[in-house]
A and B are shown apart, each in its own frame.
Chain A
């Protein structure tokens, strides 16, 4: 059975310092939900509050409408995967997986069959009599996942489960985790600081900073229409340019320092005023032309050829450095010191208020609860 998790005005304090102040969140039944943010943003703290390992200083936590604040961690029916797996070193693989079932006093044959089922599901059946110190990191990860899932929890919580694996295994395991989660259909809360991992694995992501949720949305929402400047620069790479906006009817013109202008027709009405703005242009949202004479003038500093794409590092007349990604062409790579002109894909770029606090364009999907918005 899967549940909806509702968090209302959660507060976490350590002594006098407040880590989380009044955070609200809804996690839907059966969804893969990721808490993403830089270290120290409070994502693990929040996860551990859901698990019951951290005390809750304020607010309410609900599973399917039932308040769980005071329920003992052992009784919340949660499966948890820890960063370092927390495999019991004194128990064999099989006994690690069976541990939770034994505590629930299941009949022997049921324990046997359920354990076997999940050993097979996680493809660790052949190691079942091994001791954990003879397992590789990836195998230990599978044991941890099997152990968490075998108890048929209502919620699966995962705290940076892939951070101890090497890059290749990480990609493989995140695929496995995603598949298993879909198959079991369990509500999952996942914590990571790796935005690529979060994008690859999640239905929805909550981007956190300083204990506050900045944006909740699908990976596509976050990348294409980030709610604010922080989200835009935390998810993927981007170039930040300043511009002066001038309004002409329903459209807005962005005037860059050297006279280059971009016209936008998708600005929210309430932001249609002459104002200073911050423009976020991702490296692939530039178009380079070598001789057109139109666009931002830039000089190439260096280039990196990566097969599919070629990265250019250039500087503008203002001295600002900008990164550009172009699909590799069969012709020569543009050489250093060469002058180029940059245009932008106007429908893709994002524009923020001067303080970076909100995106002024239409089409931002943000599920952050109303009272929560920064």
Chain B
């Protein structure tokens, strides 16, 4: 009996996944670590770390990244939490549209927002020019810290909104009534009851925002100018025009991972103090927003959402403008689309091929891994679980660099292939998909599977005929969200791509950096349309309307 168990089919599958993680994640990470401690003379040395911390030119990127990320996180919470509160406690007109817009904002690639804001508020932005010519005031510079903060906050507060809205839906109405009944109402209730009840979620959202802001590469590159941050420095050291230094890039990557790991642990410790779960019997009843208070609620909601959505609108507008070379001309046409489509090469097929394969792999692996974690917990499956979560704290550009360093020499050469792009996307996306699959699976009672086995179905058959179909709703909605994040991914792809594997997002980025704003706008609009279609399918499929990142 025991011998037979050893050759369980599942054992082969999880050992294979374990091996794959060792090869494609642990080995590249080890390579980065190894490279970071090899000095210029090829010997073991900490000189790169010393260089980083002793020269202000480099070490200040750390301080810059940290301060802009921290400010983004705080500002996203300050904007997102009240928005979620208003949205869920009051009847606000156009709620479903608000929901769609917010999700859409959170899903677009941040650098597109950055470039749109430059078009609006930059040195020669239309708003800047308009204000200058009409009032004669020069608005403050949006390059550098301010610009990064603006773009990232508007990009990331929707995540806070979506997370906190989920938490508010789990608060039972009677808790609010109990609070009212005991004399705690209004703003006092917001701080004494609602915020503490949402605290676990707020902390989770804060961590997510922090990680995204810290690792974001496109935004500071476009709008940061002299304000140099971490991910850009890694990129410059790795692929820069002024001489590259793999070892130094590796060292900076290691520092980045150490910092994010600390933040991750800090958040875990903090949130362990709020260990409670809620389940709403009666969800909160929405009240009508009336009077002066109602006016401010509407004003706040619409202005905040309008600001976040403005870049998207402006880009769509720009995509129809006529261009001459790099300049916009009066008049409207589809010329930008025509030229962009001609010059973009295979980027649309590439997006579907690379994204499609990655999506299939992500879904397949997430189902298997979550099944192992929940139903077949042992040392190896737990190790898989832990490893699969690691990329959560590794910035995307570091994942890219690690893969290049590991697989650009014999025995395995993968650089420049579709394969390495797919692997990178899988590694990056799996932590999120696994978490949501695990949550879905945990809600399915084990007895259903036991019933199938007692009725004579094999373990394999039970898994495919019973478990997977029961998970399917969660899986499909998770898959659509993965798809959207996959097609808008930039920070890893920018390091891994070559001329044959350019995706839509990369094509937009390339046009932006070359200054072909018209073409960039056209392609960005195509990307947005793809995102909208995916989201509409998601909303059709997903009954819960919960967005899990």
- Per the bound structure, the CA–CA distance linking A270 and B174 in Å amounts to 49
| CB <8 Å contact, B197 and A82 | no
Residues of B within 8 A of A74 (CB): 180-185
Least Cβ–Cβ distance between A133 and chain B, in angstroms: 5
| CB <8 Å contact, B278 and A82 | no
Q: Which of A75, A78, A86, A103 contacts B175 (CB 8 A)?
A: A86
Contact of A89 with B278 at beta-carbon distance under 8 Å, contacts A80-B177, A83-B174 already known = yes
| CB <8 Å contact, B181 and A51 | yes
| CB <8 Å contact, A78 and B174 | no
Residues of B within 8 A of A103 (CB): 182-184, 188
User: When each residue 47-62 of chain A gets 1 if its CB lies under 8 Å from chain B and 0 otherwise, what string results?
Assistant: 0000101000000000
Which residue on chain A has the smallest CB distance to residue B197? A90
| CB <8 Å contact, A90 and B276 | yes
| CB <8 Å contact, B184 and A90 | no
- Per the bound structure, the CA–CA distance linking A83 and B274 in Å amounts to 24
Q: Is B193 an interface residue (CB 8 A)?
A: yes
Residues of A within 8 A of B278 (CB): 89
Q: Is A72 an interface residue (CB 8 A)?
A: yes
Which residue on chain B has the smallest CB distance to residue A85? B174
User: When each residue 197-240 of chain B gets 1 if its CB lies under 8 Å from chain A and 0 otherwise, what string results?
Assistant: 10100000000000000000000000000000000000000000
Q: Is B269 an interface residue (CB 8 A)?
A: no
| CB <8 Å contact, A88 and B197 | yes
Least Cβ–Cβ distance between B187 and chain A, in angstroms: 13
Q: Is A94 an interface residue (CB 8 A)?
A: no
**In residues 78-106 of chain A, which contact B (Cβ within 8 Å)?**
78-80, 82-84, 86, 88-91, 99-100, 103-104
| CB <8 Å contact, A99 and B182 | yes
| CB <8 Å contact, B175 and A88 | yes
Least Cβ–Cβ distance between B342 and chain A, in angstroms: 59
Which residue on chain A has the smallest CB distance to residue B182? A100
Least Cβ–Cβ distance between A232 and chain B, in angstroms: 33
Q: Is B178 an interface residue (CB 8 A)?
A: yes
Q: Which of B183, B196, B274 has the most CB of A within 10 A?
A: B183
User: When each residue 162-187 of chain B gets 1 if its CB lies under 8 Å from chain A and 0 otherwise, what string results?
Assistant: 00000000001011011111111100
Least Cβ–Cβ distance between A312 and chain B, in angstroms: 40
Q: Is B307 an interface residue (CB 8 A)?
A: no
- Per the bound structure, the CA–CA distance linking A72 and B179 in Å amounts to 13
Residues of A within 8 A of B196 (CB): 88, 90-91
Which residue on chain B has the smallest CB distance to residue A51? B181
User: When each residue 92-113 of chain B gets 1 if its CB lies under 8 Å from chain A and 0 otherwise, what string results?
Assistant: 0000000000000000000000
Q: Which of A73, A82, A131 contacts B174 (CB 8 A)?
A: A82
**In residues 70-129 of chain B, which contact A (Cβ within 8 Å)?**
none
Contact of A86 with B183 at beta-carbon distance under 8 Å, contacts A132-B276, A133-B276 already known = no
Residues of A within 8 A of B175 (CB): 86, 88
Contact of A86 with B172 at beta-carbon distance under 8 Å, contacts A51-B181, A74-B180 already known = yes
Q: Is B292 an interface residue (CB 8 A)?
A: no
- Per the bound structure, the CA–CA distance linking A23 and B101 in Å amounts to 47
Q: Is B55 an interface residue (CB 8 A)?
A: no
| CB <8 Å contact, B182 and A151 | yes
| CB <8 Å contact, A104 and B183 | yes
- Per the bound structure, the CA–CA distance linking A83 and B278 in Å amounts to 15
Which residue on chain A has the smallest CB distance to residue B281? A84
Q: Is B277 an interface residue (CB 8 A)?
A: yes
Q: Is A282 an interface residue (CB 8 A)?
A: no
Residues of A within 8 A of B274 (CB): 90
Q: Which of B172, B183, B197, B277 contacts A133 (CB 8 A)?
A: B277
Q: Is A147 an interface residue (CB 8 A)?
A: yes
| CB <8 Å contact, B177 and A53 | yes
| CB <8 Å contact, B184 and A82 | no
Which residue on chain B has the smallest CB distance to residue A157? B181
Residues of B within 8 A of A53 (CB): 177, 180
**In residues 468-496 of chain B, which contact A (Cβ within 8 Å)?**
none
- Per the bound structure, the CA–CA distance linking A172 and B309 in Å amounts to 58
Residues of A within 8 A of B193 (CB): 88
| CB <8 Å contact, B276 and A86 | no
| CB <8 Å contact, B185 and A72 | yes
| CB <8 Å contact, A78 and B181 | yes
Residues of A within 8 A of B174 (CB): 82-84, 86
**In residues 267-304 of chain B, which contact A (Cβ within 8 Å)?**
274-278, 281
Residues of A within 8 A of B275 (CB): 131, 133
| CB <8 Å contact, B172 and A90 | no
Residues of A within 8 A of B180 (CB): 53, 72-74
- Per the bound structure, the CA–CA distance linking A84 and B179 in Å amounts to 14
Residues of B within 8 A of A151 (CB): 182-183
Residues of A within 8 A of B184 (CB): 74, 99, 103
Which residue on chain B has the smallest CB distance to residue A90? B196
Least Cβ–Cβ distance between B164 and chain A, in angstroms: 15
- Per the bound structure, the CA–CA distance linking A79 and B278 in Å amounts to 23
Residues of A within 8 A of B172 (CB): 84, 86
| CB <8 Å contact, A89 and B276 | yes
| CB <8 Å contact, B276 and A73 | no
Least Cβ–Cβ distance between A349 and chain B, in angstroms: 43
Residues of A within 8 A of B197 (CB): 88-90
- Per the bound structure, the CA–CA distance linking A89 and B273 in Å amounts to 12
Q: Which of A84, A90, A131, A132 has the most CB of B within 10 A?
A: A90
Least Cβ–Cβ distance between B27 and chain A, in angstroms: 42
Residues of A within 8 A of B179 (CB): 88, 99
Q: Which of A89, A133, A147 contacts B182 (CB 8 A)?
A: A147
- Per the bound structure, the CA–CA distance linking A232 and B525 in Å amounts to 72
Residues of B within 8 A of A89 (CB): 197, 276-278
Q: Which of B172, B182, B199 has the most CB of A within 10 A?
A: B182
| CB <8 Å contact, A100 and B183 | yes
User: When each residue 30-73 of chain A gets 1 if its CB lies under 8 Å from chain B and 0 otherwise, what string results?
Assistant: 00000000000000000000010100000000000000000011
- Per the bound structure, the CA–CA distance linking A90 and B199 in Å amounts to 9
Least Cβ–Cβ distance between B409 and chain A, in angstroms: 53
Q: Which of B181, B183, B199, B276 contacts A131 (CB 8 A)?
A: B276
| CB <8 Å contact, A73 and B281 | no
Contact of A73 with B177 at beta-carbon distance under 8 Å, contacts A88-B193, A103-B182 already known = yes
- Per the bound structure, the CA–CA distance linking A100 and B188 in Å amounts to 13
Residues of A within 8 A of B177 (CB): 51, 53, 73, 80, 82, 86
| CB <8 Å contact, B277 and A80 | no
- Per the bound structure, the CA–CA distance linking A74 and B274 in Å amounts to 27
- Per the bound structure, the CA–CA distance linking A322 and B303 in Å amounts to 71
Which residue on chain B has the smallest CB distance to residue A79? B181
Least Cβ–Cβ distance between B103 and chain A, in angstroms: 28
- Per the bound structure, the CA–CA distance linking A72 and B184 in Å amounts to 11
Residues of B within 8 A of A80 (CB): 177-178, 181
Q: Which of A83, A99, A151 has the most CB of B within 10 A?
A: A99
Least Cβ–Cβ distance between A158 and chain B, in angstroms: 12
- Per the bound structure, the CA–CA distance linking A73 and B181 in Å amounts to 6
Least Cβ–Cβ distance between B91 and chain A, in angstroms: 14
Known: A75-B183, A103-B183. 8 other contacts (CB 8 A): A72-B185, A74-B184, A74-B185, A80-B178, A82-B177, A84-B172, A89-B277, A90-B276
Q: List 30 A-B contacts (CB under 8 A).
A: A53-B177, A53-B180, A73-B180, A74-B182, A75-B183, A78-B181, A79-B181, A80-B178, A82-B174, A82-B178, A83-B281, A84-B172, A84-B281, A86-B175, A88-B175, A88-B179, A88-B193, A88-B197, A89-B197, A89-B276, A90-B274, A91-B196, A99-B179, A99-B182, A99-B184, A100-B182, A103-B188, A132-B276, A133-B275, A133-B276
Nearest 9 Cβ contacts at the A-B interface: A100-B182, A103-B183, A89-B276, A86-B174, A86-B178, A82-B174, A90-B196, A103-B184, A74-B183
